[in-house]
């Protein structure tokens, strides 16, 4: 008979080793000088094939790049990043538009675009090299039992891990949150995001575009090799037909919605889609348990805020954990988690309200609203102080 597997002890166990979970582990390692033992439990092994046109991308704001630099990760990520030099916002068929320009702000870039496949490999490699991080992969948590002073997690292969603190970074439908009874609010935006990588006749020159159409926003983000990453929000009933179009038909439909600012659309890669639903965990903390990243909130991609908000969660939590460690305190105790919560709630509420407001404001086709938002966009291009709050949030320069 096999012996019972022995329990391994850690200070922090992070469920989920994608960008939020991996960043949290590396931030704790950096901020405590590897003073705390961390386990990362991740179900998926990063794929080493380069998916080219089929890659999903993420826009990292200027502030996020700074945060990643502070924890020593940006240096290895930056070779894979495409800088955003300008963000161009317009409303299809109407006069309003505004532009945000890195050079005018005295910056090298407003943000960077990175393919998730590249980021996954960089983070996976960094976790493997870290002094005091143990990676359990492929593995996932099947059970969580909480005592007064510790938490015991069971993994799918029967291994048991104990920790002072468990952090859920396991995505929008977090099973760890379900296991500890943290519910989530959902709001269906009644839109579907179509995603693909496209090649355009004119070079993007680091320009990102956000164009509001009747069905929802169309965003093109600059990528490597002259490609752009497309997120096109459409009504749910339109999505199946658009996914089944030929590449040429899809390119024509996109050309009509997006316009000719990048010339002719030459090539469309493999298309994917996902429904747009705002999901928010009803609580970010519980006994010896914290929630970060998409497990905490999943936003509409309209202003590229989702991962950037999640990263601010991650670094704030890592700072609170490191502060507790420096003070010789237990990092899983409620006062530590309450400090994290107090720091995150204002930013979280404001960012969720802003993105949801943009979605509803720009997908409404009543004449007064169209006029109002176009006057707003036009005014922003004239008066920089009107643009400043939006620019600051777009760049992730936010109090946390």
pLDDT digits (tens, 9 = 90+) for 165-215: 999 999 999 999 999 999 999 988 888 989 999 999 999 999 999 887 777
**How sure is the predictor about 366, in pLDDT bands with cuts at 50, 70 and 90?**
very low
Q: How does pLDDT run across 255-268, given as a tens digit for each residue?
A: 999 999 999 999 99
- Mean pLDDT throughout 139-143? 97
Parallel, antiparallel or unpaired: strands 289-291 and 165-168:
parallel
Task: With residue 193 as reference, give the H or E element that holds it.
Answer: strand 184-200
The residue that leads in pLDDT, 325 or 211, is: 325
**pLDDT of 381 above 50:** no
Contact 123, 23 (CB under 8 A): yes
pLDDT at 222 over 50: yes
Q: What is the per-residue pLDDT across 46-70, written as a single tens digit (0 to 9) for each? A: 765 544 555 688 889 888 999 999 9
Question: SS3 of 302, please?
Answer: helix
Distance (Å, whole) CA 130 – CA 93:
52
Q: Is pLDDT at 376 greater than 70 in this prediction?
A: no
- Number of other CB atoms surrounding residue 272 within 10 Å: 12
Task: State the average pLDDT over residues 66-82.
Answer: 94
- pLDDT value of residue 242: 96
Please report the DSSP string for 215-226 in residue order. Answer: S-EEEEEE-GGG
At residue 378, the pLDDT reads: 46
Which range, of 68-72, 162-166, 361-365, 395-399, averages the lowest pLDDT? 361-365
**pLDDT, average across residues 77-104:** 79
| Percent of the chain's residues with pLDDT above 70 | 82
Task: Walk me through the domains of the chain, giving residue ranges and CATH numbers.
Answer: 7-48+116-185+277-357 (3.50.50.60), 74-113+189-276+362-394 (3.30.9.10)
Residue 239 has pLDDT above 50, yes or no: yes
pLDDT digits (tens, 9 = 90+) for 93-104: 444 467 788 898
Mean pLDDT of the chain: 86
**pTM, whole model, 2 decimals?**
0.87
Per-residue pLDDT, 388: 55
Residue 155's pLDDT band (cuts 50, 70, 90): very high
Question: Under DSSP, is residue 90 helix (H, G, I), strand (E, B) or coil?
Answer: strand
What pLDDT shows up at residue 347? 87
What pLDDT does residue 84 have? Answer: 94
How far from 306 is each of 131, 172, 219, 356, 394, CA to CA, in Å?
30, 11, 15, 12, 11
Question: Alpha helix (H) ranges present in the chain?
Answer: 19-31, 62-70, 74-77, 116-129, 175-179, 239-244, 247-258, 306-326, 334-362, 367-382, 384-394
User: For residue 373, what pLDDT is reported?
Assistant: 41
What is the pLDDT at residue 298?
85
- For 330, half-sphere exposure in the C-beta direction (CA atoms, 13 angstrom radius) is 15
The pLDDT of residue 181: 98
Contact call for residues 97 and 86 (beta carbons, < 8 A): no
Average pLDDT of span 379-390: 49
Residue 284: which residues within 8 A CB-CB, separation 6 or more? 290, 291, 296, 313, 340, 341, 344, 345, 348
């Amino acid at each position: 008979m096999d012996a019972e597997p022995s329990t391994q002890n850690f200070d922090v166990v992070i469920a989920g080793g994608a960008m939020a979970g991996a960043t949290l582990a590396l931030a704790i390692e950096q901020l405590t000088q590897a003073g705390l033992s961390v386990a990362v439990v991740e179900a998926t092994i990063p794929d080493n094939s380069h998916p080219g046109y089929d890659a999903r991308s993420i826009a990292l704001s200027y502030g996020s790049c700074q945060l990643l630099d502070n924890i020593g990760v940006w240096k290895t990520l930056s070779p894979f990043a495409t800088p955003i030099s300008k963000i161009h916002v317009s409303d299809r068929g109407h006069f309003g538009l505004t532009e945000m320009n890195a050079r005018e702000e005295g910056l090298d870039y407003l943000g960077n675009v990175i393919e998730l496949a590249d980021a996954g490999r960089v983070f996976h490699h960094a976790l493997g090299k870290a002094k005091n991080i143990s990676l359990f992969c492929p593995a996932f948590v099947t059970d969580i039992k909480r005592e007064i002073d510790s938490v015991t997690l069971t993994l799918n292969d029967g291994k048991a891990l104990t920790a002072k603190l468990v952090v859920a970074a396991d995505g929008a439908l977090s099973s760890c949150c379900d296991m500890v009874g943290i519910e989530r609010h959902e709001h269906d935006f009644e839109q579907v995001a179509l995603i693909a990588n496209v090649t355009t006749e004119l070079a993007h020159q680091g320009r990102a575009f956000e164009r509001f159409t009747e069905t929802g926003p169309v965003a093109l983000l600059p990528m490597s090799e002259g490609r752009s990453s497309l997120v096109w929000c459409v009504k749910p009933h339109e999505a199946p037909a658009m996914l089944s179009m030929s590449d040429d038909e899809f390119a024509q439909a996109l050309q009509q919605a997006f316009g000719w600012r990048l010339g002719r659309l030459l090539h469309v890669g493999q298309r994917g889609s996902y429904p747009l639903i705002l999901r928010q965990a009803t609580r970010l903390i519980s006994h010896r348990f914290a929630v970060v990243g998409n497990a905490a909130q999943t936003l509409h991609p309209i202003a590229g805020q989702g991962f950037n908000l999640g990263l601010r969660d991650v670094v704030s939590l890592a700072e609170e954990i490191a502060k507790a460690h420096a003070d010789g305190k237990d990092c899983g105790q409620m006062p530590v988690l309450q400090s994290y919560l107090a720091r995150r709630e204002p930013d979280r509420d404001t960012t969720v309200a802003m993105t949801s407001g943009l979605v509803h404001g720009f997908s409404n086709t009543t004449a007064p609203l169209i006029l109002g938002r176009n006057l707003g966009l036009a005014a922003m291009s004239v008066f920089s102080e009107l643009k400043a709050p939006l620019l600051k949030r777009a760049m992730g320069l936010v109090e946390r």
